[in-house]
Amino acid sequence: MAIKFAFVFCVGSIFGWLLETLYRRFFKPASEERRWVNPGFLTGPYLPMYGIGMCALYLLSLIDFSFVGGRFAQRLVMFCFMAVALTVTEYVTGVIFIKRMGIPMWDYHGMWGNFRGLICPLFSCFWTVLSVVYYYLVHPHLNYAAEALSHSLPATAILAMFCAVMLADFAHSAAAFGRKKHCVGNR
């Protein structure tokens, strides 16, 4: 099961990076600058926040919600849990990177209903829509691929290398951030 979650995490991290990069280039509000930018803390093309979010979606997709009632109610409850999971992931990531480390990754202060500028109802709605898209269009294929790859030694080795590169990138980025913050603090 760990290999499946590692695979889902890596896929989510890469697709999250793609989603954020395209959003910041083409879909940001007209009042903000639209440009190509690496949207994350890390150097490489991945955003672990989305990897964690996709693992949450994957796990919630596997839960049997039959205790709720009819099929519509089951899906509704599942999508609500998914939206909450993604919003909590965004909030925790924001607390760590924006509030604690001072890295301005996003700012919802000007948006209606925001909480500490880290989460807001509009983006929680986006997370809900992405959850529905994930469940119906991505999950069946991702689940199949995760199952198939979890039995493949070469795929597991590639996955391990990818995770190692991501960890090395995190160590490098954290060290660079520490040096930058230390230099700024000495002025």
Q: Kindly write down the DSSP assignment for every residue of 70-138, as one continuous string.
A: SHHHHHHHHHHHHHHHHHHHHHHHHIIIIIIS---S---TTSTT-BTTTB-HHHHHHHHHHHHHIIIII
Using alpha carbons, select from 148, 33, 49 the residue that is nearest to residue 93: 49
Give the per-residue pLDDT at 179.
67
Backbone phi and psi for residue 72, each to the nearest 5 degrees, phi listed first: -60, -45
Report the distance separating Cα 24 and Cα 2, nearest Å.
Answer: 32
* pLDDT (tens digit per residue) in 29-69: 666 666 667 777 788 888 999 999 999 999 999 999 999 88
Give the per-residue pLDDT at 31.
60
* pLDDT (tens digit per residue) in 73-96: 999 999 999 999 999 999 999 999
Give the per-residue pLDDT at 181.
60
* pLDDT (tens digit per residue) in 154-182: 988 999 999 999 999 988 888 877 766 64
Report the distance separating Cα 131 and Cα 13, nearest Å.
Answer: 15
Least confident of 3-12, 92-101, 128-137, 172-181: 172-181
Does 184 have pLDDT greater than 60?
A: no
